[in-house]
Structure 1
């Protein structure tokens, strides 16, 4: 029975998580992978060309072609857990409504963390696109230009292209006569939390405050999410802990990660002030396991700071004290990292965040 409850609790938490995700499966991310995430890595298919089509010769048949689908190893770097004490009840005596409330809360909290990390993966793995200051008069033309660039990059235009827009950008889109509200698109669209459509993109509002970010455009074919419980959600009796008396806890542990499969298929659109940067292996004594960030464009000064795998993204005009990053000298500071880590780099002017960029570390970037 305990095992059945674990499975049921985990299913309930996952259902809540999926319902709360803004960067949802099927809309932003696919779930195509092979292997067991709890083992530390999975294989994901990565294909940039389609199946070849040739004329058929009735006499001689047709030569076979080989597919170009490659499998990329995706390390699983996120290992999270919930462990909330329920005081006054042993495991057998916890009321059902209290269990349901805690499971609901666990799903909500998990979704918030997964969305934060998923957004960081998109921003670090996508292509930075800098645009002019957005207004209600130019936002449609800007989105059309993004559509053009994605079509040239051969991103499928099959009705699944998405546009995640910040509240400020969405306010401008709502004022555009070209915007089609969800009420005109049918029930299936509304059920998925999509607010409308513009220039062929399905639109969701994303309450994100990343400095200078306006929107992210993409297609779920080119970004993967892997998520699985390594320890199913359960009610753990704490009476034998030697510390807690007459108490239990909702516990569970899950592993997950995200990966962008084709950079040009995910467009991270910034208004003026964004950064671009690159990674290279650190050199010199003590450089093993380290990388170096070089800011290449978009800076408004020479004062920078960074974080590795930030739990929250930098916001515009956030003070340097509130940001609490580590000082960075472009092209010089050696940062200790592992493959799959995300580095957030901010540009500070008058001790405030004015621009930001994200970089995903690969094994080739580490000395």
Structure 2
């Protein structure tokens, strides 16, 4: 994980907004689960400049494949696209003040470092909850399933969900299942579970703990209420975010520095057939 701010600097006195924003986003993206590239695509992220933006997504309609006979003409089909809008409707801000005395006593900005870490976690929880709500709202009614909790029950549910995705022509590559900790416990007991970095010295990023039944398994306690598992492909949902504002300034009435930032994001389910939302029966 990136160290923020860089070791050996005094954060407030060497504040450069662009560098700070970049360094803050790196550990944030490493902590995301539902909003990470494991579960969503970031095809339109570079087009986000601020809250209230609307990004137009031109989804290509699949060309028709025709039979071919020798010496026959093949007529070119005009490509067709469907315009969808990615609304940047998620905005979260953080702000904290560090008293001059505390800053001096904290050996070069330790308080600012700790406060920034806490801000990252708060932004991550908010972003994952936001994407989860979008996924639940955008999933097809037919793809909202129930399952029972048990070692074989969870495995069998994943196998069945894989069939649903197969029949929807969803690519096998990069399929994911994000589960709550209670479901993770059942998965870890299954003899077909293949551990990733779980139990090793390698840090777990984006909640990934291993694989089961052809799915990359990630865990988070921040799934929407009543949902224990979200399964699918990153092709199903697009997500983009940006730290559009980050600044430091003197507190108007105290001997302190204020650091504050604004994080905005947008998410949209563009291929609902590639997403399954599951609850326990």
TM-score by length of 1: 0.63
1:203 paired with 2:217, answer yes
Q: For residues 125 and 24 of structure 1, what CA distance do their matches in structure 2 show?
A: 15
May I ask how many residue pairs the two structures share in their alignment? 264
CA distance in 2, matches of 1:86, 1:153: 53
C-alpha displacement at 1:140, in angstroms?
Answer: 1.6
- Tell me the distance in 2 between the aligned counterparts of 1:218 and 1:225: 15
1:254 alignment partner in structure 2: 263
Supply the distance in 1 between the matched residues of 2:205 and 2:230 (Cα, whole angstroms): 21
Partner residue, 1:13: 24
Q: Is the 8 A contact 1:90 1:246 kept in 2?
A: no
* Superposition pairs of residues 235-254 of structure 1, within 5 angstroms: 235-238=248-251, 241=252, 244-254=253-263
Aligned with residue 69 of structure 1, among 55, 75, 81: 81
Query: CA shift at 1:202, angstroms?
Result: 0.5
Q: Name the counterpart of 1:26.
A: 37
User: Aligned-residue CA RMSD in angstroms?
Assistant: 3.5
**Counterpart position of 1:145:** 160
Q: Report how far residue 61 of structure 1 moved.
A: 6.8
1:108 aligns with 2:121: yes
With a CA cutoff of 8 Å and minimum separation of 6, indicate the structure with the bigger relative contact order. Answer: 2
**Which structure is higher in strand share?**
1
| 1:26 to partner: Cα distance | 1.5
Structure 2 matches for 1:1-367, cutoff 5 A? 5-33=16-44, 35-38=47-50, 40-47=53-60, 49-53=61-65, 62-88=74-100, 95-127=108-140, 128-158=143-173, 160-182=174-196, 193-208=207-222, 210-231=224-245, 233-238=246-251, 241=252, 244-272=253-281
Per the normalisation by structure 2, the TM-score is 0.80
Question: Contact 1:23–1:115 at 8 Å: present in 2 too?
Answer: yes
Secondary structure, counterpart of 1:31 in structure 2: coil
Q: Structure 1 CA distance, aligned partners of 2:138 and 2:68?
A: 40
Give the Cα separation in 1 of the matches to 2:38 and 2:25: 17
Q: CA deviation at 1:235?
A: 1.6
Match of residue 337 from structure 1: none
Equivalent residues of 2:147, 2:154 under 8 A apart: no
Unaligned segments of structure 1, at least 5 residues:
273-367
CA contact (8 A) 1:91 1:237 kept: no
Q: Which runs of 4+ in 1 moved over 6 A?
A: 55-61, 89-92, 187-190
Describe the SS at the equivalent of 1:230: strand
